[in-house]
């Protein structure tokens, strides 16, 4: 079995804070494959998969298909058609890189709330050329409206449960839900995790107005 | 045997949710946009305490049945007096919202209320009470008033 650097897990967590679990997993699997081949990806799963369910799922997909799981913003864009603004809860760099340009002039906000630890928000936002507005948690409801949308990322489902970042549960209070027309979940890992998602939380699938 | 003072049993919380498609069909005459309709139907069918959702659905279904059994009337007037239903946000947040999005996409017809409550103070109190409160409560009231307005029109009360 390939020996990977012992600090890789902590490095992955740091990257996931600013890229998102899915986007960071794509980077780590791609780079591990480039450096060590499929044996290295197997080692990545073996050594860190149980701790990081999204990394495990992305590595499994790579080993099954020989390719990273893709990202397609088509359905998310369609689900947001007609929205007046979109507030993103949670963060996935690869997904937002694709989605934000398709929303043309629509205001897009990013809730500055991450449960994974300190995030350099200026560095995160700098990649979007002012197209993402930083939204402090206290300003959440200022983005409400009869055509407003909330969006979060889903990391697979298991029965009636969707795996989401815990920020989504902080936002989904019974007062906030009727203040936004659309509550969109974008599932980046439709196959779902094979291991328990320790870093994620569960939301009922039926609590989204749309899950794409 | 239950004593006179025994409390009624609570509704089962595991009961199936109200039929969203049926609610959307009830909303169609007043909310033409499908996304707006889905939004209001979610507030009626999925938000709020479970026993309120179930009772709302029961009352709406009865009103729909009464309307269906009432004699048909001509087309509804294109525009009648209505009252907007404010989005339920804290007052200090309201000013921050886009002015075009401060109300739910359904307005409460006020024609029948005006005939029922000719006194403006009583009418104002009725309107405020119906459109105030949590979103589920206010929107359920508004849809019921809209359906009653239509039912009364079919019975010859109203234009």
Q: Which two tokens stand for residue B53?
A: 């959702």
Mean of the per-residue pLDDT values of chain B: 89
Residues B106 and B85 sit within 8 Å (Cβ to Cβ) = yes
Q: In this predicted structure, what is the pLDDT of residue A145?
A: 97
* Residue B26: pLDDT over 50: yes
By CB neighbour count within 10 A (0-12 exposed, 13-18 middle, 19+ buried), where does B102 fall?
Answer: middle
By CB neighbour count within 10 A (0-12 exposed, 13-18 middle, 19+ buried), where does B108 fall?
Answer: buried
* Residue A88: pLDDT over 80: yes
What is the SS3 assignment for A134?
strand
- The verdict on B95 touching A (C-beta cutoff 8 Å) is no
pLDDT digit string, tens, across residues A179-205: 999 999 999 998 888 899 999 999 999
Q: In this predicted structure, what is the pLDDT of residue B3?
A: 47
B101 and A147 in contact by Cβ < 8 A? yes
The band of B37, judged by pLDDT with boundaries at 50, 70 and 90, is very high
pLDDT digit string, tens, across residues A20-71: 999 999 999 999 999 999 999 999 999 999 999 999 999 999 999 999 999 9
- The verdict on B127 touching A (C-beta cutoff 8 Å) is no
A181 and B46 in contact by Cβ < 8 A? no
Query: What's the predicted TM-score (pTM) here?
Result: 0.88
Nearest CA to A182 out of B28, B59, B105, B65 is that of B105
Q: Which residues pair with A154 in a beta bridge?
A: A164, A187
Residues B45 and B128 sit within 8 Å (Cβ to Cβ) = no
Residues B41 and B27 sit within 8 Å (Cβ to Cβ) = yes
A177 and B97 in contact by Cβ < 8 A? no
B35 and A82 in contact by Cβ < 8 A? yes
A82 and B39 in contact by Cβ < 8 A? no
In B21-60, the residues whose Cβ lies within 8 Å of chain A are 33, 35-36, 38-39, 42-43, 46-48
By CB neighbour count within 10 A (0-12 exposed, 13-18 middle, 19+ buried), where does B75 fall?
Answer: exposed
Q: Which two tokens stand for residue A151?
A: 């969006």
Give the H or E element holding residue B122.
Answer: helix B120-131
Residues B104 and B141 sit within 8 Å (Cβ to Cβ) = no
Mean of the per-residue pLDDT values of chain A: 94
Nearest chain A residue to B104 by CA: give it. Answer: A146
H, E, C per residue of A156-167: EEECCEEEECHH
Mean pLDDT, residues B143-151 taken together: 97
The band of B80, judged by pLDDT with boundaries at 50, 70 and 90, is confident
Nearest CA to A96 out of A84, A80, A82, A120 is that of A80
Contacts of A141 in chain B (CB under 8 A): 89-90, 93
Q: Which two tokens stand for residue B129?
A: 């009470």
Q: In this predicted structure, what is the pLDDT of residue B12?
A: 52
Mean pLDDT, residues A71-93 taken together: 97
By CB neighbour count within 10 A (0-12 exposed, 13-18 middle, 19+ buried), where does B71 fall?
Answer: exposed
Residues A184 and A209 sit within 8 Å (Cβ to Cβ) = yes
């Amino acid at each position: 079995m390939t020996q990977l650097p012992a600090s890789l897990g902590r490095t992955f967590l740091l990257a996931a804070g600013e890229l998102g679990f899915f986007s960071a997993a794509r980077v780590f699997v791609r780079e591990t494959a480039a450096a060590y081949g499929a044996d290295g990806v197997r080692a990545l799963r073996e050594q860190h998969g149980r701790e990081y369910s999204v990394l495990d799922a992305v590595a499994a997909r790579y080993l099954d298909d020989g390719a990273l799981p893709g990202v397609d913003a088509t359905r998310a864009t369609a689900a947001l058609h007609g929205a007046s603004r979109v507030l993103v809860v949670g963060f996935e760099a690869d997904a937002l890189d694709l989605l934000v340009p398709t929303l043309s002039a629509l205001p897009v906000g990013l809730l500055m709330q991450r449960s994974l630890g300190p995030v350099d928000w200026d560095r995160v936002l700098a990649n979007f050329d002012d197209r993402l507005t930083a939204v402090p948690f206290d300003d959440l409801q200022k983005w409400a409206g009869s055509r407003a949308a909330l969006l979060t990322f889903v990391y697979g489902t298991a029965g009636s449960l969707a795996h989401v970042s815990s920020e989504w549960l902080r936002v989904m209070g019974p007062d906030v839900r009727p203040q936004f027309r659309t509550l969109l979940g974008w599932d980046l890992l439709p196959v779902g995790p094979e291991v328990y998602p320790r870093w994620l939380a569960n939301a009922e699938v039926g609590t989204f107005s749309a899950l794409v | 045997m239950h004593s006179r003072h025994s409390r009624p049993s609570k509704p089962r919380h595991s009961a199936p949710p109200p039929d969203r498609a049926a609610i959307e069909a009830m909303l169609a005459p007043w909310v033409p946009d499908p996304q707006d309709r889905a939004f209001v139907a979610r507030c009626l069918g999925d938000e709020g305490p479970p026993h309120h959702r179930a009772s709302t659905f029961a009352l709406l279904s009865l009103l729909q049945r009464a309307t269906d059994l009432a004699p048909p009337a001509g087309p509804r007037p294109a525009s009648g007096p209505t009252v907007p239903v404010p989005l339920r946000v804290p007052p200090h947040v309201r000013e921050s919202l886009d002015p075009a999005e401060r109300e739910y996409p359904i307005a409460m017809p006020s024609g029948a209320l005006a005939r029922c409550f000719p006194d403006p103070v009583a009418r104002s109190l009725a309107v405020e009470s119906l459109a105030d409160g949590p979103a589920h409560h206010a929107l359920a009231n508004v849809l019921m008033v809209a359906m009653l307005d239509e039912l009364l029109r079919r019975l010859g009360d109203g234009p």
